[in-house]
Amino acid sequence: MDTGFYHEPVLLKDVIDSLCINKKGIYVDGTVGGAGHAQAILQDTKGFLIGIDRDEEALSIAAQKLARFGSRKILVKGNFADLSDILTKLNIEKVDAVLLDLGVSSHQLDAAERGFSFSKEAPLDMRMDRCQRLTAYEIVNSFSQRELERIIRDYGEERMAVRIARTITQTRKSSPVETTVELAAIVAGAMPPPLRRQQIHPATRTFQAIRIAVNNELDNVKKAIEAGIAALKVGGRMGIISFHSLEDRLVKNEFRNAQKSCVCPPDVPVCVCNKEVKLRVVTRKAIMPQQEEINLNPRARSARLRVAERV
Ligand SMILES: C[S@@+](CC[C@H](N)C(=O)[O-])C[C@H]1O[C@@H](n2cnc3c(N)ncnc32)[C@H](O)[C@@H]1O
């Protein structure tokens, strides 16, 4: 079906195989998007799928694409961080697998008016959930220089954060920064000349940082891992695909912590933390796409899939 929405699902076979999706289970796709993974999950099983997305537009496309699966799926507008509440409302206690394919879809990136892309003129928006109040405009035009610097440094891993934050706050004194292209030019102008000629656009990291801040992305992933652990049956699996090192590191560390049996300081003679082991990490190293997939879908090049099993 041509819905005009395009997004090539990444690491599709690895997701299906590593989440052991092959039976009549209950599966959560917390980032249903254009329903690429969701279709494969429903096609390959007799299972039931709960598809969640913050983006109304993505959900209505997913509804069209998944229509043929009738009552074997339910779509929910919501934040995957609220997975526990979502499942409680649906009267579902435990599930067999949880998938999160993080970030934005190709469709969201290419829809100029959403303001995710620095190469398409649009108002500074970047909200995945368009009912949310905080936008990129507000961050860029009203956050303090210090706060901007922290966001750009911590969420963009940008070495030039101080210069960029300073240039933004100086520029907005004369008039607000209105569009993506304006912001991209301000960021590029703040860079020392050799850094303006990098392979990636000089505004890439700053745009990533502001998007993460607008959508509270890292906190949401942390909460979703906790909620996913609580929702999984013993033997159930959680798979998370991330697209940049910050996210991947967060997933790796959260999985590892959930695998630990004791977190007492080394000088405590007897364990007092009583920590429970909740997960077994299945992917010692993240699964990465083969060159063949990258050739067909260049966006897949930075994808990393990590999988853990509930114990
Ligand atoms: C990379 S796309 C997913 C694509 C999907 N797997 C497919 O095959 O088409 C990520 C999707 O997750 C959604 N999203 C991101 N953060 C979210 C959150 N905290 N809660 C729910 N949905 C979220 C985005 O709106 C976007 O539609």
The predicted-structure confidence for 209-264, as pLDDT tens digits, reads as follows: 999 999 999 999 999 999 999 999 999 999 999 999 999 999 999 999 999 988 89
Mean pLDDT of 192-209: 85
- Residue 199: per-residue pLDDT: 73
What separation in Å is there between the alpha carbon of 154 and the centre of ligand 1?
22
pLDDT score recorded for residue 150: 98
Report DSSP state, residue 287: B
**Rounded distance from Cα 32 to ligand 1 centre (Å):** 6
CA angle (221 as vertex; 220, 225 as ends), nearest 5: 120
pLDDT confidence tier of residue 110, bands split at 50, 70 and 90 = confident
- Residue 24's Cβ-side half-sphere holds a number of Cα atoms within 13 Å equal to 1
220 lines ligand 1 (CB under 6 A): yes
Going from the Cα of 71 to the center of ligand 1, the distance in angstroms, rounded, reads 22
**Contact 80 CB / ligand 1 (< 6 Å):** yes
Tokens for 235, please give them. 């033997």
Give kind and range of the element (H or E) at residue 196.
Answer: helix 193-196
Q: Compute the Cα dihedral for 36, 41, 47, 52 and give only its sign.
A: negative
Which mutation among 54, 66, 77, 293 tests ligand 1's pocket best, with the greatest number of atoms within 8 A of CB? Answer: 54
**CATH for 12-107+217-310?**
3.40.50.150
Which of the residue ranges 101-105, 116-120, 305-309 has the most confident prediction, judged by mean pLDDT?
305-309
What was the pLDDT predicted at 2? Answer: 60
What pLDDT is stored for residue 5 in this prediction?
Answer: 59
Q: Give the SS3 label for residue 76.
A: strand
- Distance CA(102)–CA(234), nearest Å, equals 24
Question: Average model confidence (pLDDT) for the chain?
Answer: 94
Count how many Cα atoms sit within 13 Å of the Cα of residue 311 in the half-sphere of its side chain: 13
Structure confidence by residue, pLDDT tens digits, 168-195: 999 999 999 999 999 999 999 999 877 7
Range in 22-26, 78-82, 204-208, 242-246 with the lowest mean pLDDT: 22-26
Higher pLDDT, 299 or 140: 140
Residue with the smallest CA separation from ligand 1 atom 4 is 33
Residue 4 confidence (pLDDT) above 70: no
Res 1 pLDDT > 60: no
Label residue 44 by pLDDT band (50, 70, 90). confident
Atom of ligand 1 nearest to the CA of 53: 22
Ligand 1 pocket member 107 (CB < 6 A): no
Q: What is the pLDDT of residue 274?
A: 87
Q: Is 58 in the pocket of ligand 1 (CB under 6 A)?
A: yes
Within 8 A by CB and 6+ apart from 64, the residues are: 1, 3
Give the residue whose CA is nearest to atom 13 of ligand 1: 31
Q: What is the DSSP string of 216-250?
A: THHHHHHHHHHHHHHHEEEEEEEEEEESSHHHHHH
Distance separating alpha carbons of residues 153 and 163, to the nearest angstrom: 11
Number of H helices, E strands in the chain: 14, 7
Q: What is the DSSP string of 288-302?
A: ---HHHHHH-GGGGG
* Cα-to-centroid distance, 52 and ligand 1 (Å): 8
Q: Where along the chain do its domains lie?
A: 12-107+217-310, 125-215
Counting from 1 in the atom list of ligand 1, the atom nearest the Cα of 129 is 25
Query: How large is the C-alpha radius of gyration of the chain?
Result: 21
Other CB atoms within 10 A of residue 22 CB: 12
- Minimal-distance CA residue to ligand 1 atom 20: 79
Q: Is the pLDDT of residue 114 over 90?
A: yes
277 CA distance to ligand 1 middle (Å): 29
Q: Are 109 and 116 in contact (CB under 8 A)?
A: yes
Phi, psi of 36 (to 5 degrees): -60, -55
Of 30, 32, 37, which is closest to residue 11 (Cα–Cα)? 37
Cα 243 to ligand 1 centre (Å): 12
Find out whether the beta carbon of 36 lies less than 6 Å from any atom of ligand 1.
Answer: yes
Q: What is the CATH number of domain 125-215?
A: 1.10.150.170
